[in-house]
Amino acid sequence: GAVVSQHPSWVICKSGTSVKIECRSLDFQATTMFWYRQFPKQSLMLMATSNEGSKATYEQGVEKDKFLINHASLTLSTLTVTSAHPEDSSFYICSAPKQGAGGYTFGSGTRLTVV
Amino acid sequence: QKEVEQNSGPLSVPEGAIASLNCTYSDRGSQSFFWYRQYSGKSPELIMSIYSNGDKEDGRFTAQLNKASQYVSLLIRDSQPSDSATYLCAVNIVSSGGSNYKLTFGKGTLLTVNP
């Protein structure tokens, strides 16, 4: 139980375009979703926390106008990288708290390459 | 001081040996501690969670927590080549606003188990 489905698993886009990443909770309601970014050989860095029906909370240094987060329903949170640049190339991962059991469940990640 | 610190390694052990992974954290108020395993290009998967001082065993894995020393460790007994991966220590740390927790990761320790 507590599965988060993340799509796409990889995407290549041109510089200046926008890319949307989706995370869906399949068998539970995710009122909160965490969005992480991981550069090669680095750890996961929290970008923002989305809460269903309210504005996302962004970590210091993360541009909220560039990384648009929408959490319009209890089963879907999206991250849109707007006007992507090569430096945005990274591994993006979503995560939701598990209900009751404690801990967190992670999506399978999205490898974004901006060319 | 970084919030969650790990020796980045790499750590290399022979098959059948005990691998010892260590982690320290800065927030004395933290209550939840996790060890994740991450294979290259994949999302993290939970190995162990620990919430109380002492040891917690699950198969070949033992997590140890010492809140007074702000230290958490993971022991892997009878290490197997399939255990070769990056191990991430993660701690729930109070966010800057003070009202929520965020899961904060260490940089990870790369473990290689040699056949």
Mean of pLDDT values over A107-113: 97
What mean pLDDT do residues A48-54 have?
88
Express each pLDDT in A1-35 by its tens digit: 788 999 999 999 999 999 999 999 998 888 899 99
**Average pLDDT of A60-68?**
94
A60, closest residue in chain B (CA to CA): B96
Which residues of chain A neighbour B105 with C-beta distances below 8 Å? 43-45
Q: Is A109 on the interface with B (CB under 8 A)?
A: yes
Residue B8 to residue A10: CA distance in whole angstroms: 27
Give A52's pLDDT tier (boundaries 50, 70, 90). confident
pLDDT at residue B97 in the model: 58
Taking all residues of chain B, what is their mean pLDDT, rounded to a whole number?
91
Do A86 and A114 contact (CB within 8 A), yes or no?
yes
Contact B88 A60 (CB under 8 A): no
pLDDT band at residue B2 under the 50/70/90 scheme = low
A50 touching B, CB under 8 A? Answer: no
Candidates A43, A46, A108; nearest CB to B43? A108
- Which residue matches tokens 């020796």? B7
Task: Check whether B29 has a pLDDT greater than 90.
Answer: no
Question: Which residues does chain A have within 8 Å of residue B107's beta carbon, measured at their own beta carbons?
Answer: 42-43
pLDDT tens for B50-103 read 999 999 999 999 999 999 999 999 999 999 999 999 999 999 887 665 556 788
Mean pLDDT of chain A: 92
Percent of chain B past pLDDT 70, that is, above it, reads 93
Q: Which of A42, A60, A109 minimises the CB distance to B42?
A: A109
